[in-house]
């Protein structure tokens, strides 16, 4: 059985960072190097990202594919396809345009460059209007 998602050390580093401490300040506090804190923080963030992706995937299984944003298109133009497709399902999207764009750019940054969609992006919608992006 795998261990916990985050080690105690990773939790400490994340908590200290949330409190506004720099990596060097944390290193001094924990009597280690800044580069070690950097590695701990990166590993923790990677684990959190993977867990979030797994949860999003799990939740998307209860969602419906409403549209695909096409590669080569501008995100600002394609975003309206989501609202149109959602209206056709009778479900209200829970995000305004800015929040929806941010959600997409955060979910699949590797698929977007300078506002242009580089790879097709599948958009799923659940019954409560929450969007999942792959």
pLDDT along the chain (134 residues), means of 10: 84 97 97 97 94 83 89 94 93 94 92 95 92 87
How does 51-65 read in b/e, with b if 16+ C-beta sit within 10 Å?
eeeeebeeebeebee
pLDDT at 59: 79
Total-model pTM: 0.63
pLDDT at 46: 93
């Amino acid at each position: 059985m795998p261990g916990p998602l985050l080690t105690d050390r990773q939790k400490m580093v994340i908590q200290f960072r949330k409190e506004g401490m720099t990596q060097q300040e944390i290193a001094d506090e924990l009597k280690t190097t800044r580069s070690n804190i950097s590695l701990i923080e990166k590993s923790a963030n990677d684990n959190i990202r993977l867990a979030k992706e797994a949860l999003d995937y799990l939740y998307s299984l209860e969602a419906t594919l409403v549209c695909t944003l096409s590669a080569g298109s501008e995100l600002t133009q394609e975003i309206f396809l989501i609202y149109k497709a959602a209206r056709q399902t009778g479900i209200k999207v829970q995000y305004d345009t800015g929040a929806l764009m941010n959600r997409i750019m955060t979910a699949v940054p590797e698929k977007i460059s300078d506002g242009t969609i580089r790879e097709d992006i599948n958009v799923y919608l659940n019954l409560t209007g929450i969007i999942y992006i792959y």
